Copies of this chain bind each other. A is one copy, B any other.
């Protein structure tokens, strides 16, 4: 007697179909990329005709919005559970990389080139700030013996994005360094810019992580 019993049969069917649509959407995104997502093709795969999907999603943008939201949530959940298991910054970084490699297009959907016509609703900014908060938490453990840089001073006055987090400017800077450097390596790897270069991207990622932790 799960809580699904509290819902009406129609509601259960509805959420089930919505889930199945998203499943096909992810499958399609993983192969053809996000900007080539086709509602029509999904409908055909599910054995029903195009316009039927509009009962479940207002349109292509609504579906993409939900996929982005799910991607953010999946990343937040993954990082949070790792963090709850006592992961430090290094483990967290490798958790991020594993999550990204598990489904490259899912990472690129969030952090890659934005989908042309698409505009993120406010709700998504909220979820992404949750991830940011976890990053800030983890960065509190960073060594803080480095001198105060001009950018640190700037951050002291521009810390709205920390959303009340008590991290000092040096930690804010550290979090941004963490984010941008790992993203730099990851995004180029996922976009295929390292293929054919011969070296192992995992080692470059590890090297950047070492630099970050030794700072």
By a beta-carbon cutoff of 8 Å, the part of chain A in contact with chain B is: 31-36, 108, 111-117, 125, 149-151, 154-155, 158-161, 173, 176-177, 179-185, 187-188, 191-193, 196-200, 203-204, 206-208, 210-211
Contact = CB atoms under 8 A, between A and B. Distances in A.
Given A180-B208, A183-B184, A185-B184, A161 B32 contact: no
A181 to B, nearest CB: 5
Contact of A158 (B113, B161, B193, B199): B199
Given A112-B113, A151-B203, A173-B207, A197 B33 contact: no
A160 B199 CA distance: 9
A181 B150 CA distance: 19
Contact of A113 (B33, B176, B203, B211): B33
A116 B183 CA distance: 20
A64 to B, nearest CB: 13
Name, among A108, A111, A199, the residue most crowded by chain B CB atoms within 10 Å (CB to CB): A199
Given A36-B116, A180-B181, A180-B204, A111 B193 contact: yes
Given A151-B204, A198-B160, A204-B151, A112 B115 contact: no
Nearest to A197: B161
Copies in the complex: 2
Contact of A161 (B33, B150, B196): B196
A36 B118 CA distance: 11
B188 A183 contact: yes
Contacts of A182: 184
Q: Give 6 closest A-B pairs by Cβ, nearest first.
A: A184-B184, A33-B116, A112-B113, A161-B197, A180-B184, A151-B207
